[in-house]
Structure 1
Amino acid sequence: MRAMTYRGPYKIRVEEKDRPRIEHPRDAIVRVTLATICGSDLHLYHGLMPDTRIGHTFGHEFVGIVDEVGPAVENLQVGDRVLVPFNVYCGTCFFCARGLYSNCHNVNPNATAVGGIYGYSHTTGGYDGGQAEYVRVPFADVGPTLIPEWMSDRDAVPLTDAVSTGYFGAQLADVVEGDVVVVLGAGPVGLTAARSSWLMGAGRVIVVDHLDYRLEKARTWAYAETVNFSQVKDVVLTLKRMTDGLGADAVIDAVGAEADGNLLQHVTAAKLKLQGGSPIALNWAIDAVRKGGTVSVMGAYGPMFSAVKFGDAMNKGLTLRMNQTPVKRQLPRLFEHVRNGFITPSDLLTHTFPLDDIAEAYHVFATKLDGCVKPAIVPGGGQ
């Protein structure tokens, strides 16, 4: 099959790889009809995540057609059209039994915290991802979800991560009616978190970013006020002034390890492989939220030794809530929101590239060319 492969920081190519095969009775093989590039894929692309190995295929957002199923798979049939959550999980361990699918205990031998993630380095299990023609889906009887007949692939694929994660971020922010919510980051996750905050009852939503076209999307798609942090002297002071000097009731960090990367990150992550994130956005969140407020962390972080203002968070009496999104839990509500027109995931897909042009897609997305919010990748046969 044809698949994207990693050759080192900023170096990817499409190569012939062995078509995946059934390795366990609960596996399925999915023929990918549509995938995307996620902002967190850029952390891998830039060499910022430890243990990203040569030859690895990225991609944790994909939908497709079931091509083959193992003998123990009961809930899928060949020909089913499915969206595959980015989480790899067993469905039966202590954590899965409690709905913590992103913390599955049986799928990632390399960590005790996060479970498995498709196409996201060997720190999350080393599973090849969906930026390919085919992908092996472990535990296929619990992960993949049938796409409703009325839903297009373009609306379904962002639900595998970006939209589910943004929605989850608004849930974790514990928004109550009338709250002021600040969202750091106007990528697809941040945009969805902002739009979802209204569904939770927010009275005011403010989005912070530095790219004008993304801030315009925040105004027109998420109906938010915006702050361009590159145009203000002190973003925290600006947010305090916008909130009567108190700070926001909740701040959602949808930036994480900073997809662009800074010098410290490139030295400690790309060169020394010591850490996978910078605390800048997280510290902004801690500083910009009011005393007694809530910080929701959706941004992707790897291991970090850089200083987080934990003492400030403690002394302000903050509630910090975070996790990788258990996608399957979000889908029933999101299906209804999409069907009723409250969220339109396909609006986030601004560019479409064939798989053979994926290197160009990464370049366009990483360098923020042509107003690219999120690129879709078509191996063939997508809607």
Structure 2
Amino acid sequence: MKAMTYRGPYKLRVDSKPDPVIEHPNDAIVRVELAAICGSDLHLYHGMMPDTRIGHTFGHEFVGTVVEIGGSVQSLAVGDRVLVPFNIYCGSCFFCARGLYSNCHNVNPNATAIGGIYGYSHSTGGYDGGQAEFVRVPFADVGPTVIPDDITDEDALLLTDAFSTGYFGAQIADIEEGDTAVVFGAGPVGLAAARSCWLMGAGRVIVVDHLDYRLRKAEDFAYAETVNFGQVGDIVRDLKFLTDGLGADVAIDAVGAEADGHVLQHVTSAKLKLQGGSPVALNWAIDSVRKGGTVSVMGAYGPMFSAVKFGDAMNKGLTLRMNQAPVKRQWSRLFDHIRAGYVKPSDLITHRFPLDEIAEAYHVFSAKLDDIIKPVIVPAS
């Protein structure tokens, strides 16, 4: 099969790799119909994730058709059209039994906190991802779900991570009716979180970013007020001014450590000399939320070398909530929201690339060219 393969930082190519095979009776093989590049894939592309090995295939957002199943698979059949959560999980351990699918205890021997993730280095289990023609899906009775006939492939694709993660971020922020929510980051997850805040009962939504085209998308897609932090002297002071001097009720960090080497260039308008894992957006969230407010963290973080303002969070009486989203838990509600016309996740898609052009797709996405928001990869038939 054709598959994207990692060759080192900023170096990708499409190679021929052996077709995946059934390795366990509960495996399935899925022919990928659509995949996506996630903002967190850029951490891999930039060489920021540990144990990203040469030849690894990225991609944790994909939908496709089941072409083969193991002998014990009962919930799927060959020919089923499925969406696959980015979380790989067993479904039966202590954490899975509590709905903490992203914290599964049985699928990642390399970590005690996070479970398995498709295409996200050996630090999350070493599973090849879906930026390929085919992918092996373990625990096929647990994760994959047949796409309802009235849900399009592109809408389903956005539910495998980005939109479901943003929805989860708004959900765990415990928004009360009429609350003001500030969302840091106008990438796909931030845009999904901002749109979802309205579904949770928010009375006002403000999105913070520094790229004008993403802020325009926040206005059009999420019906949000926007602030370009590159055009204000002090973003925290500006947000306090906008909220009667008190601060927002809720702040959602949908940025994380978007680092490029040791330079945090996608989080700030200037290239600040900060180490990978710098919590700039997280500290802005802590500072800009009101006393007694809630900070929800959806942005991806690795090791933190710079100080989080934890003392400030404690002294302000903040509630901090965070996790990798257990995306399958959100699907039934999101299917209903799509059917009702409240959301259309595929409206986030701006670019479509054939698999053979995936190196260009990563370059365009990383450099934020051509007003890109969400790129989709279409494997060759």
Q: Normalising to structure 2: TM-score of the pair?
A: 0.96
- 2:110 maps to a residue whose letter is N
- 2:124 maps to a residue whose letter is T
2:224 aligned partner: 224
- 1:277 correspondence with 2:280: no
Change (3 A) 1:42 1:65: same
RCO greater where, 1 or 2, for CA within 8 Å and sep 6 or more?
1
Alpha-carbon offset, residue 278 of structure 1: 1.5
Are 2:259 and 2:276, in contact at CA under 8 Å, matched by a contact in 1?
A: no
Q: Aligned residues, how many?
A: 373
Distance 2:306 2:94 in 1: 32
Alignment of 1:1-383 (within 5 A): 1-260=1-260, 262-263=262-263, 277-381=277-381
Change (3 A) 1:259 1:187: farther
Distance 2:165 2:253 in 1: 11
Distance 1:8 1:78 in 2: 36
2:269 aligned partner: none
Distance 1:375 1:77 in 2: 29
Gapped regions of structure 2 (runs ≥ 5): 266-274
Percent identity over paired residues: 79
Give CA-to-partner distance per residue, 1:101-136, whole Å, 9 cap, x none: 000000000100000000111111111100000001
1:269 aligned partner: none
Q: Normalising to structure 1: TM-score of the pair?
A: 0.95
- 2:39 maps to a residue whose letter is G
Alpha-carbon offset, residue 261 of structure 1: 5.6
Are 1:49 and 1:276, in contact at CA under 8 Å, matched by a contact in 2?
A: no
Moved over 2 A (4+): 259-265
- 1:46 maps to a residue whose letter is H
Gapped regions of structure 1 (runs ≥ 5): 266-274
Alpha-carbon offset, residue 350 of structure 1: 0.5
- SS of equivalent residue, structure 1 residue 221: helix
Give CA-to-partner distance per residue, 1:146-194, whole Å, 9 cap, x none: 1011111111100000000000000011100000000000001000100
Alpha-carbon offset, residue 264 of structure 1: 7.3
**What is the CA RMSD across the aligned residues, in angstroms?**
1.3
Distance 2:163 2:175 in 1: 18
